Structure 1
Amino acid sequence: MVNYFIIIIGIIYLIGVFTIPKWRQKKVNQDWKFYELLWFSTCFIIYVIYLETQLHTYYFLIPSSFLLLFLFSYFKEKRRLVNGLLFNLFLVVGMTYLGSLLVRTYNPLLIVLAGITLIVLFLLILIGLYALLVFLYWNAIVVMRKEGHSLANLLTLLLAIGLTAFLIFNHYSTRILPEWASLLFGILPLSMLYFSIVFYNFLTISVIYQFNQPKYNQDFIIVLGSGLIDGKTVPPLLGKRIEKAIQFYKAQSHATLNPPKILMSGGKGDDEHIAESLAMKNYALEKGIPEEDILVETNSTNTLENMEFSKEIMETTFGGTDFHAIFTTNNFHLFRAGLFAKTVNLKADGIGAKTAFYFLPNAFLREFIAIVMMHKRRHLIICGLIALMMIFLALIQFFLVSRQ
């Protein structure tokens, strides 16, 4: 018997697949991949709900409640690390639910998706860590060749060396250590597991936060500064931040005939001839932005001060606090910058400029370390509890062995 509902859903899905790229071509942000994924997810959810109704069950409400919890938390305040945890909880519950639905229906589409998922998980378990090591060493070589040998550029190399040492020692530890000492050594892998989960949650919300779509009603665009070349020239990484702001500036000007002010934020470093914001202003002037639409903040030395001092300028310029503002920075720095904006009670979300792929692993590691340090007390407490638990188990094992 022909199932007309499935045919209709399939046709609607295919129409969306071909329509979305054409629709995005008319937008400032022409990236269509996120919307294709969103469209597939929407159609798939409708299809799953249809399967449930055929069984006269409503178990789909369980993962749906986790999705609604995430959406409520995210749209109430996007700049929270807990949003990454909530989204990943939804994924775990959702995958478990789909597994149970597969057992109850033996649906061909679910079987194919489950097969692909199992293959991916098998490969991750089989070669995932070793593939990660190869990638980290390769990335470290590329970054050092293109960006230099500073400590900030060596993070992927240091992580690769650390993981290599851990794998070697973990392989031989059970042979050379007594059982109680192996339990003590277990503090390290458990702590690594904890930080892996924290990093995955951070990475999840960082990726989700990339898809901000600010309305064309902004009064200000803050451009976050970074270092200058030879103390006076805007480097490519900073140039992309400015160009992202200019892109939004032109789009809002075209859509509303009411352009926002571009606020360049960055002070003068010890090794710089001029303030970063002044070099950024000159860059924007060369790109055709009128001088009256550019503001400068010349005192900040870090991202927190960028947000704090920029807020003061915007309040003075606007004559109050009821303004609309966004900020631009590189995509890897976007979420942490949002956390700093939240810290100073600045209602502003960010839009991210693209960064070369080879630079991203090192950059995200640097961002993660900075965020861990922002909440170091919490992480020290959890790692301390892990250590106390393993020490307790090691003591029990030691006394049990000594009595035999």
Structure 2
Amino acid sequence: MGSYFSIIIGIIYLIGAFMIPTWRRKKVNQDWKFFELLWFSLCFIFYVIYLEIQLHTYYYLIPSAFLLLFLFCYFKEKRRLVNGLLFNLFLVVGMTYLGILLVRTNDPLLMVLAGITGAVLFLLLLIGLYALLVFLYWNAIVVLRKEGHSLANLLTLLLAIGLTVFLIFNFYSTRILPQWASVLFGILPLSMFYFSIVFYNFLTISIIYQFNQPNYNQDFIIVLGSGLIDGKTVPPLLGKRIEKAIQFYKAQSRATLHPPKILMSGGKGDDEHIAESIAMKQYAIEKGIPEESILVETNSKNTLENMKFSKEIMEQTFGGTDFHALFTTNNFHLFRAGLFAKMANLNANGIGAKTAFYFLPNAFLREFIAIVMMHKRRHLIVCGFITLMMILLALADFFLVSHN
């Protein structure tokens, strides 16, 4: 009976997987990847529940509770870092549960998934850090070649050099340092481990936030500005933000015949001839957007001001606060922009424009550093605790060795 059910579930899944792209092609928003992932997850959850029912147990309720907690917090407020932590807690509990279920059932599908997962984890443990180093050095060379030698473009290179120095020193530290000093040196790897967890949670929620699917009922689309080339020309990175807004503008126009206003947000920098929003408006007009559909905000100097000043313009234009709005930016900047929207009390989520793959590692590192600085007090407290703990252990080791 179990094998027949597995075959039936497999057939149902394959039928759905083939039908989803066809179904999405008939929609205004033709993206199908999110729905493929959702369909696989639903089929797999249903299959796991069936296995539990066969055993007359209900342990699946434990990971389900973590999943529901994440979904409740996420849909209540998508723009929170804690959502990444909640999702990763669900993954840890879920993977543990599936491992126990595999031992109890010896199910072939679970065996295949466990084998794939085990192979990936083994490779990560075996060569993960060294592969990361090679990737970081390669990425740094590409970024410096294509984007220039600014400090912001050096982040992957600096991280690669830092990790290289750490690995070399960590290899020799036990040979050249006394025991108490080696314990004290543990401050660095523990702090790195803490920040790697923080980064993983940030990356998790940043990726999940990319799947935001706004309804076609928007009154405004805010396009967040960035620097101009020669103080007057829209660069490709900013152009993608504008084109993302235009894409949604046209999609909503086809779906509802009620096009939103596009609000270009960006002031004039010290090295710019015109306000960014003016150049952005001209760019959109050249792409076929009517001038009357475009608003401009010309005073902001950063993302938080983008949100605050845009909110004021939307309230004046709409004649109240009961409007629907979203913002567009590049995908790596999407989640942090959402945090700024929340800080500005603007009820808006974002959609991200695609960015060249080579630029993403450096860009996400920059975003992570900015988010760490937004919560620096919390991180200083944790790092201070780690430092104090290791100092006490080093002192204990020093006096115990001296005493002996």
User: Is the 1:232–1:274 contact (alpha carbons within 8 Å) kept by the matching residues of 2?
Assistant: yes
Structure 2 letter corresponding to 1:237: L
Aligned counterpart, 1:313:
313
**Contact 1:63 1:93 (8 Å CA) reproduced:** yes
Q: Name the TM-score, length of structure 2 as normaliser.
A: 0.99
Secondary structure in 2 matching 1:154: helix
**Residues 357 and 2 of structure 1: CA distance in aligned 2, closer, same or farther (over 3 Å):** closer
The total of aligned residue pairs comes to 404
Q: Is the contact between residue 329 and residue 352 of structure 2 (CA under 8 Å) also seen in structure 1?
A: yes
**Cross-structure match for 1:355:** 355
- Which residue in 2 is equivalent to 1:135? 135
2 CA distance for matches of 1:98 and 1:114?
9
Match of 2:254 in 1: 254
The residue that corresponds to 1:40 in the other structure is 40
* Structure 2 counterpart of 1:157, one-letter code: L
Instruction: Name the residue aligned to 2:380.
Output: 380
Residue in structure 1 matched with residue 50 of structure 2 by the alignment:
50
Runs of 4+ in structure 1 off by over 6 angstroms are none
Partner of 1:300: 300
- Deviation sequence 1:162-196 (CA, Å, 0-9, x none): 00000000000000001110111000000000000
Q: 2:321 & 2:2 partners in 1: Cα distance? A: 60
Matches within 5 A, 1:135-214: 135-214=135-214
Deviation at 1:41, TM superposition (A): 1.0
SS in 2 for 1:351: strand
Cα drift, residue 21 of structure 1 = 1.4
1:220 aligns with 220
Counterpart contact for 1:28–1:248, Cα < 8 Å: no
User: How far 1:371 sits from its partner (Å)?
Assistant: 0.2
Contact residue 29 and residue 251 of structure 2 kept, 8 A: no
Please say if residues 174 and 182 of structure 2, whose CA atoms lie closer than 8 Å, have aligned partners that are also in contact. Answer: yes
Whether the aligned pair in 2 keeps the contact of 1:136 and 1:157 (CA below 8 Å) is yes
Distance 1:26 1:227 in 2: 37
| Aligned counterparts of 2:223 and 2:352: Cα–Cα separation in 1 | 11
Question: C-alpha displacement at 1:135, in angstroms?
Answer: 0.1
The 8 Å contact of residues 268 and 275 in structure 2, kept in 1 or not, is answered as yes
Aligned-residue RMSD, C-alpha: 0.9
Deviation track 1:148-167 (CA, whole Å, cap 9, x = no partner) reads 00000000000000000000
| 2:392 aligned partner | 392
Distance 1:328 1:390 in 2: 45
Please, what TM-score do these two structures have when normalized by structure 1? 0.99
Structure 2 equivalent of residue 85 of structure 1: 85
Measured at CA, do residues 234 and 383 of structure 1 come closer, stay the same or move farther in structure 2, by a change above 3 Å?
Answer: same
Cα distance between partner residues in 2 of 1:27 and 1:279 = 32
Alpha-carbon spacing, 1:296–1:10, altered in 2? closer, same or farther (3 Å) = same
TM-superposed deviation, 1:363: 0.2
Question: How far has the Cα of 1:29 moved from its partner?
Answer: 4.2
What one-letter code is carried by the residue in structure 1 that aligns with 2:192? M
**CA offset at residue 321 of structure 1?**
0.4
Aligned equivalent of 1:275: 275
- Superposed CA deviations along residues 325-347 of structure 1, whole A, max 9, x for unmatched, are 00000000000000000001100
SS at match of 1:301: coil
Deviation of 1:35 (Å): 1.9
SS of 2:79's equivalent in the other structure is: coil
Paired letter, 1:267: G
CA distance in 1, matches of 2:138, 2:375: 31
Secondary structure in 2 matching 1:349: strand
Name the CA distance, whole Å, in 2 between partners of 1:84 and 1:16.
Answer: 29
Partner of 2:64: 64
Q: Greater shift after overlay, 379-388 or 10-19?
A: 10-19
What one-letter code is carried by the residue in structure 2 that aligns with 1:86?
Answer: L
Aligned partners of 2:3, 2:174: CA distance in 1, in Å? 58
Q: Using the alignment, how far apart are the partners of 2:13 and 2:366 within structure 1?
A: 40
- Unpaired segments of 5 or more residues in structure 2? none
The residue that corresponds to 2:368 in the other structure is 368
* 1-structure distance, mates of 2:196, 2:34: 25
SS in 2 for 1:221: strand
Deviations 1:265-316 (A, max 9, x none): 0000011110000000000000111111100000000000000000000001
Unaligned 5+ segments in structure 1 are none
Whether the 8 Å contact between 2:199 and 2:368 is mirrored in structure 1 is yes
**Partners in 2 of 1:119 and 1:213 — Cα distance?**
34
- How far apart, in 1, do the equivalents of 2:110 and 2:170 lie? 38
Secondary structure (helix, strand or coil) at the match of 1:346 reads coil
The separation in 2 between residues aligned to 1:141 and 1:282, in whole angstroms, is: 34
User: What code does the residue aligned with 1:177 have?
Assistant: L
Kindly state the Cα deviation for residue 6 of structure 1 after the two structures are TM-superposed: 2.7
CA contact (8 A) 1:237 1:330 kept: yes
Provide the C-alpha distance between the structure 1 equivalents of 2:241 and 2:29, rounded to a whole number of angstroms. 14
